[in-house]
Amino acid sequence: MIKNLPLLVLYFATLQIGCGKYTDAKPSEKDNIPSTLEDLQSILDNDPELNQRSPKAADLSADDYFLTDLNLESLNAYERRTYIWSKRELFMKGNHNDWAYAYKNVNSANVALTYLDKMKGTQEDLNNVKGQALFHRANAFLQVTFIWTLAYDEQTADTDLGIPLRLDADPNKSTKRSTLRQTYEQIINDLKTAAGLLPLVPRGITRPSKPAAYALLARAYMAMRNYKEMGKYAILSLHYKNSLKDYNTLDTNSFILFPFAPRFSNDAEIIFGSNIVHTPALNYATAKIDSSLYKSFSQNDLRKKVLFSDNSNATFGFKGNYSGTINLFSGIATNETYLMQAEYFARMDLIDSAMFVLNKLLEKRFVVNTFIPLKAGNAREALYYIHEERRKELMMRGLRWMDVKRLNKEGANIRLKRIVNGQLYELLPDDPRYALPIPEDVIEMTGIEQNRE
C-alpha cells in the first residue's frame, strides 16, 4: 500500500488501487508512493471502488419495493434487519459493508489531495484532479449523511449528530462525529470548490464534471430544505447539460432487460455515472415494486413498460437502471435536476414555470401525442405533482430515503410499513431509526456516539 496510508475507513478498509504498479503482489514501500499526477488520476479512476459501490442501505430501507417472506429468508442478516428497520442492527463487520465502502472513497480522495501539492503538471490537469477528489469525497459524505443521520433541521443542526469528517491522510487524528450543520457545510464547501475546478465535459461519465458538481450541490441543498440554493445550482447544472432521453426511442418490449444504454456510453441524461453495490435483495427478480407505485403509471406512460419487468404473478420488478446493467444507478442525471428545478419554482410560487419544467420532462415519457400537460392552480398542487413524478422518475436510486425524511419534516406524514410473516413493522415520521445504526465495530474501534434508537 501507499506509504503512510491511513485507515480512513475507520475499520478494516484498505485502499485498493486497481492499476499499474499499485497491484504488485509485494511492492516496496518506495514504489507505492504516488510520484506523478497520473498516479493520482489512477486512484480516482478506480471504477470498481469509486463508481460501483454506492451504499445500498438507503434503498434497502425505503418503500419503493417489498419482499416476500420466502425472499426475505434467503437474504443475509444485515439485509433482513435493514428491511424491517431493526433497532439493534448488526451491520456486517469488516470492510465489506456500506460504511466501509463509502469511507474507502473518502480515503481515496484524501490520498489524492495529500499528494497533489508534490505533483507536476499543467494547472488545468492539477485543478481537474483536485476537483475530482473533492467531488468524490463530498459524494461519499453525502451518501453517509443520507443514511446515518436524521433529516436536516435548521433549528437543531448545531446539536444533531453528523458524521465523521476525515479530511486528510493523517492516521493519528482521532475520529469524532461532527454536528449535522458542520457535515453539510463541509460537503457544500467541497462541492463549491470542485465546481470551480472541474471541466464542463469530462473524459467519461464516470469522472465528475462541473455540471455534476452543481447537481450534487442542488441535491445537498434539497436535503437541507434550502430550496432557494437548490434551485440556483439545479439551474446552473442544467445550463451546461439539459438533454433528456425520449422514451419513444427505447425498445419497450417487456422481455428486454435493461433497456437503457450500456454503461460508459454517453447517455443523453447521465451527468455522472455510478452504481449501488449489488445485492440480491434489490435484484429485479427479488424486489417487488410497491403495487400502488406501479399502478400510478398510466397506460400511455412508456415508463410502465420501460422501467418494469412482469413477474407473471401480479408483481413487477424494476429493470429501469440507468446503469444499463443489473446494478442500480446511483449517479446523477438530468431528470433529477429538472425535477429539482421544478420544485424550486413551485416553492418560489412560480407555478407556471414549475409546471412548464415538469411537463417538459414528462412529454419525453409518454407515447407521442398522448401526453396531456399537467396544470396546477397553486404551489401546493404543483408540489403534489412534482413529488409524485419525483417518486416515479427516481425510484431505486438511493434517494427515496432522504426524500421521506425531508418531506416528513414538512408534515407529509409518510409512514413506512412492512409485513413479514404476518407481523407489521412500521416506521413513523419522527422515528429516530431514520438514522440507521452505525456498524458496531466502528463504534468499538473509535468510541464515537451511536445513533439513538
> Over 60: is that where the pLDDT of 69 sits?
yes
**Other Cβ atoms closer than 10 A to 452:** 11
Average pLDDT for the chain: 90
How far are the Cα atoms of 259, 294, 337, 370 from residue 366, in angstroms, in the given order?
16, 16, 19, 7
Q: Domains plus CATH for the chain?
A: 20-78+88-246+331-446 (1.25.40.390)
Residue 4 has what pLDDT? 37
Distance CA 242, CA 195 (A): 17
Residue 252 has what pLDDT? 82
Q: Could you tell me if 138 and 150 are in contact, meaning their C-beta atoms sit under 8 angstroms apart?
A: no
Give the model confidence (pLDDT) of 346-389 as tens digits: 999 999 999 999 999 999 999 999 999 999 999 999 999 999 99
> Over 80: is that where the pLDDT of 265 sits?
no
DSSP state of 361: H
Which of 89-103, 204-218, 353-367, 383-397 has the weakest average pLDDT? Answer: 89-103
**Other Cβ atoms closer than 10 A to 83:** 20
Give the model confidence (pLDDT) of 288-335 as tens digits: 999 999 999 999 999 999 999 999 999 999 999 999 889 999 999 999
The C-alpha cell of 15 is what?
Answer: 485502499
Mean pLDDT of 390-418: 98
Give the model confidence (pLDDT) of 181-199 as tens digits: 999 999 999 999 999 999 9
- Name residue 427's beta-bridge partners: 416
Q: How confident is the model at residue 93 (pLDDT cuts 50, 70, 90)?
A: low
Helix pair 210-223, 334-347: axis angle to 10 deg: 50
Mean pLDDT of 76-86: 92
Distance CA 238, CA 322 (A): 19
> Over 60: is that where the pLDDT of 27 sits?
no
Q: 3-class secondary structure for 140-206? A: HHHHHHHHHCCCCCCCCCCCCEEEECCCCCCCCCCCCEEEHHHHHHHHHHHHHHHHHHCCCCCCCCC
Give the model confidence (pLDDT) of 276-292 as tens digits: 999 999 999 999 999 99
Q: How confident is the model at residue 28 (pLDDT cuts 50, 70, 90)?
A: very low
Residue 127 has what pLDDT? 98
**Other Cβ atoms closer than 10 A to 172:** 5
Q: Could you tell me if 137 and 45 are in contact, meaning their C-beta atoms sit under 8 angstroms apart?
A: no
The C-alpha cell of 259 is what?
Answer: 433497456
Residue 14 has what pLDDT? 34
CA angle 436, 103, 88 (to 5 degrees): 20
Mean pLDDT of 57-82: 95
Higher-pLDDT residue of 264 and 116 is 116
> Over 70: is that where the pLDDT of 275 sits?
yes
Highest mean pLDDT among 257-266, 386-395, 432-441: 386-395
Q: Could you tell me if 411 and 139 are in contact, meaning their C-beta atoms sit under 8 angstroms apart?
A: no
Distance CA 426, CA 373 (A): 36
Residue 90 has what pLDDT? 55
Sign of CA dihedral 196, 202, 208, 213: positive
For the chain, what percent of residues have pLDDT higher than 70?
Answer: 90
- State the pairing for strand pair 332-333/316-318: unpaired
Nearest to 142, CA basis, from 169, 162, 114: 162
Residue 441 has what pLDDT? 87
Give the model confidence (pLDDT) of 138-178 as tens digits: 999 999 999 999 999 999 999 999 999 999 887 778 889 99
Distance CA 331, CA 324 (A): 12
Helix pair 334-347, 227-240: axis angle to 10 deg: 140
